[in-house]
Amino acid sequence: MSLLVTGSVGIDTVQTPYGINEDCIGGSAVYFSMAGEFFTDVKFVGVIGDDCPFDLTALFHDKEVDLAGLEVRTGSKTFRWCGTYEGDMNEARTDTVNLNVLAEQPPAVPESFRNCEFVFLANTAPSLQIKLLDQLESSSFVAADTMNHWIMTAKADLRELLSRIDMLILNDGEAKLLTNQQNLVSAAKSILDMGPRFVVIKKGEHGSMLNSVEGDTFLLPAYPTSVVIDPTGAGDSFAGGMMGHLSQLGTVDIISLHNAMVYGTVMASFTIGDFSIHGIKTATREMIDERFDRLHKITQF
């Protein structure tokens, strides 16, 4: 089935204990698409300014990614983010952020994209996520991401969005901030009470947790990786792997969600292995399946 992603394309500068990578390609839609296309065709909706130095057509030329929804907006500037990771690198410190084109109207969803069965609303302002959702004709399963900035500044819009989606994916700090709960099980229940059928809470090096309105809980460790060079985009790659697998299957149930989380975890493990998209670009389907099998084996008892 078809999978649509709408999110950012960014110019990132990232510093970690392994060095600094300046003016590299980033953005939630880019990482998501790099992961999701291993499983299904991805319909890409995003907007960049005419200053964008990256050729996305070349980047995705051998990928199953349809860029008909990419808008180059004359007179606008591309989203920029500069961040630093220190210590355990579980969370970035944002040094500077320039929303630029992301502070403007969202891009138009092409007519041919509007009936996609699976949709992922990557991290951006909840009001823009809602406007993008309003452009779609019908969807079987809609998931979304968010971040602490929107939780603090646009909570009303975020609550409206949560009433209209099937699954929310966020990290543990964001879950606690959104719900004012320090216990993640309680936080998950509070999020489910806001509308989604499922919530996935990412816990960095400690893995992830899935909860459903039916009372299901699934805990998964992170893939065992000895070197983490750059965590940027890991969450978006995780979402891309999850949604890509679900779209490939064309169904959503607890078993498919469990397997989707494993694939998401595997995709994130490639991303963190190098700066920008260089880690995930090295992945092959054979390597992905090998890591899936390994993670499956080490979580059995």
**Number of folded domains that form the chain:** 1
Torsion of CA 211, 130, 101, 66, to 10 degrees: 70
How much is the pLDDT for 90?
82
pTM given for the model:
0.95
pLDDT-derived band at 91, boundaries 50, 70, 90: confident
Domain ranges, residue 68: 3-298
120: β partners: 5, 143
Complete DSSP assignment for 83-138: EE--TT-SSPEEEEEE-GGGGSPPPPPPGGGTT-SEEEE-SS-HHHHHHHHHT-S-
pLDDT-derived band at 139, boundaries 50, 70, 90: confident
Cα separation, 197 vs 166, whole angstroms: 5
Cα separation, 31 vs 240, whole angstroms: 7
The CATH number of residue 108's host domain is 3.40.1190.20
How much is the pLDDT for 249?
96
Contact indicator for 195, 242 with CB cutoff of 8 Å = no
How much is the pLDDT for 301?
74
pLDDT-derived band at 140, boundaries 50, 70, 90: confident
How much is the pLDDT for 182?
96
pLDDT-derived band at 212, boundaries 50, 70, 90: very high
Number of Cα atoms under 13 Å in the Cβ half of residue 279: 23
Residue 138 has pLDDT above 90, yes or no: no
Q: 167-209: per-residue pLDDT in tens?
A: 999 999 999 999 999 999 999 999 999 999 999 999 988 999 9
Give me the mean pLDDT over the 79-83 stretch.
Answer: 96
pLDDT-derived band at 267, boundaries 50, 70, 90: very high
Q: Which two tokens stand for residue 231?
A: 């965590």
Choose among 59, 43, 167: nearest CA to 113. 43
Q: Taking all residues of the chain, what is their mean pLDDT, rounded to a whole number?
A: 95
**How far from 170 is each of 22, 80, 209, 287, CA to CA, in Å?**
26, 21, 10, 26
Complete DSSP assignment for 163-193: TT-SEEEEEHHHHHHHHT-SSHHHHHHHHHH
Choose among 187, 182, 154: nearest CA to 168. 187
